[in-house]
Structure 1
Amino acid sequence: MHALVIGATGATGKDLVQQLLADQSVERVSVFVRRNLALQHDKLHIHTIDFDRPQHWSQLVKGDVLFSCLGTTIKAAGSQEAQWKVDFDYQYQFADAASANGVPRYILVSSSGADAKSRVFYSRMKGQLEEAVKKLPFEAVTIIQPPILDRKDSDRKGEKIGLKVIQVLNKVGMFRSQRPLSTQELAATMIRAAKENKTGITTWTGEEVRTPEVAG
């Protein structure tokens, strides 16, 4: 397998790249980043690019599967418009380039509650991206809608508060289906999705997102 990754510098992306490099069925891992990664491996090929210039990188988006886990926050981006550019525009442009280059499989990390018609900006953005990539001519599209993520060293204040609330509720037996998911487990789920032989469009939610050995 030749795996393509965008979002490799984020919490999920870092775990995904490490797991791909350790997977014997993966022959090559090509990552697309703004700044060079402090990581070396015989399988790893790093493309340092300007995301705003697809004409310079679109021809490089060739392989067996594109993993898309790029994302930011409004706080980091500075505005809704800037967040949309990263979370929607960049991801869609990569998906479009991959499908045009004949990449057969596409794995997208979306969000629980994604809804193209939502009044909530984040949920609407994620939902509209889902709808957009579904129209691209991939052989297989898997959209993963994880619950709140447990990220190592997270600086996302809202996410950290939500994580603590869910963990407290889980302890008293509430909202078990929405218990936090580690980024390591999400990465493993992405790889599992890539190895499935199914074609068409599928959306993974709830227990489907968890690895079988810990799904209960």
Structure 2
Amino acid sequence: MKAVIIGGSGATGRELVKQLLQDSRFQEVIVLVRRPYFEKHAKLTEFLVDFENLQQYKDQIQGDVAFSCLGTTLKDAGSKEAQWRVDHDYQLTFASIAKTNDIESFVLLSATGANENSSFFYNKMKGTLENNVRKLGFPQFVILQPGGIERPNSDRAGEKIFIKLLKICNAIGLFKRYQPITTARLAKAMIASYFKFKEKYKVVSLSEIRRISE
């Protein structure tokens, strides 16, 4: 099988690429990145792309399954408009090209609380993306909705504090739906969900993510 990925240089994406390369079921892994990132590997092809002009690289977006785990923070993006462009527009364009190129399966990393009608910007953005990709009509569309994500060696001070607070709250039974999960387990769940959930449309909750990543 052949997988194509955007967001491969992010924390979850790096782990996803690593696991796909180790998985004997995949013979080829295509990664679209802004700049050179990965070491050479017999199964890996790395394409440098301009995400503002993804249509120029439509011939490279080919495969059996597309994985999308692209994302940024409001701080890194600089504005809500810029974050929306990365977290919504780039991924929707990628999905549209994948559908045009007859990729049958699309696996999207989203977030708990995603809802296009939410009053919270982040949840609204994620929910809008989910719905817009669903409208494309992939034969198989899987959405994973984790809570907090534990990124190894994270340099985001706010994120570290948030994860620690979540763990404290989880220990006393609060905010269980946002229970943190490591990038290694999340990547494992993304791959497992592709093989496990063959129905047309599936939203994978945190509890299911944890179960299939054990």
With the length of structure 2 as denominator, give the TM-score of the two structures: 0.95
Farther-moved stretch of structure 1 (35-44 vs 174-183): 174-183
Q: What does the per-residue CA deviation read over 1:64-116, in whole Å, with 9 as the maximum and x for residues that have no partner?
A: 00000000011101111111110000000000000000000000000100110
Q: Unmatched 5+ residue regions in structure 2?
A: none
Cα pair 1:10 1:70 within 8 Å, conserved: yes
Identity %: 43
Q: Paired residue for 2:8?
A: 8
Letter in 1 for 2:66: L
Q: How does 1:98-109 map to 2 (within 5 A)?
A: 98-109=98-109
Counting matched residue pairs gives 214
CA RMSD of aligned residues (A): 1.4
Shift in alpha-carbon separation, 1:106–1:197, aligned structure 2, 3 A: same
Letter in 1 for 2:188: A
Q: Paired residue for 2:151?
A: 151
Q: How does 1:108-147 map to 2 (within 5 A)?
A: 108-147=108-147
1:177 Cα deviation from its structure 2 partner: 4.6
Q: Paired residue for 1:208?
A: 208
Q: What does the per-residue CA deviation read over 1:37-69, in whole Å, with 9 as the maximum and x for residues that have no partner?
A: 131110000010111112310122110000000
Cα pair 2:189 2:213 within 8 Å, conserved: no
* Distance in 1 separating the partners of 2:158 and 2:109: 19
Farther-moved stretch of structure 1 (19-28 vs 169-178): 169-178
Cα pair 2:150 2:183 within 8 Å, conserved: yes
* Distance in 2 separating the partners of 1:19 and 1:82: 30
SS, match of residue 113 in structure 2: coil
* Distance in 2 separating the partners of 1:131 and 1:12: 22
Q: Unmatched 5+ residue regions in structure 1?
A: none
SS, match of residue 166 in structure 2: helix
Q: Paired residue for 1:193?
A: 193
Q: Paired residue for 1:53?
A: 53
Q: Paired residue for 1:36?
A: 36
SS, match of residue 210 in structure 1: helix
Q: Paired residue for 2:180?
A: 180
Q: Paired residue for 1:169?
A: 169
Farther-moved stretch of structure 1 (86-95 vs 192-201): 192-201
Letter in 2 for 1:106: F
* Distance in 1 separating the partners of 2:170 and 2:197: 34
Q: Paired residue for 2:25?
A: 25
SS, match of residue 167 in structure 1: helix
SS, match of residue 75 in structure 1: helix
Cα pair 1:116 1:128 within 8 Å, conserved: yes
Q: What does the per-residue CA deviation read over 1:124-169, in whole Å, with 9 as the maximum and x for residues that have no partner?
A: 0000000100011211000100011111122334432221111112
Cα pair 1:59 1:97 within 8 Å, conserved: no
Shift in alpha-carbon separation, 1:197–1:180, aligned structure 2, 3 A: closer
With the length of structure 1 as denominator, give the TM-score of the two structures: 0.94
1:197 Cα deviation from its structure 2 partner: 5.6
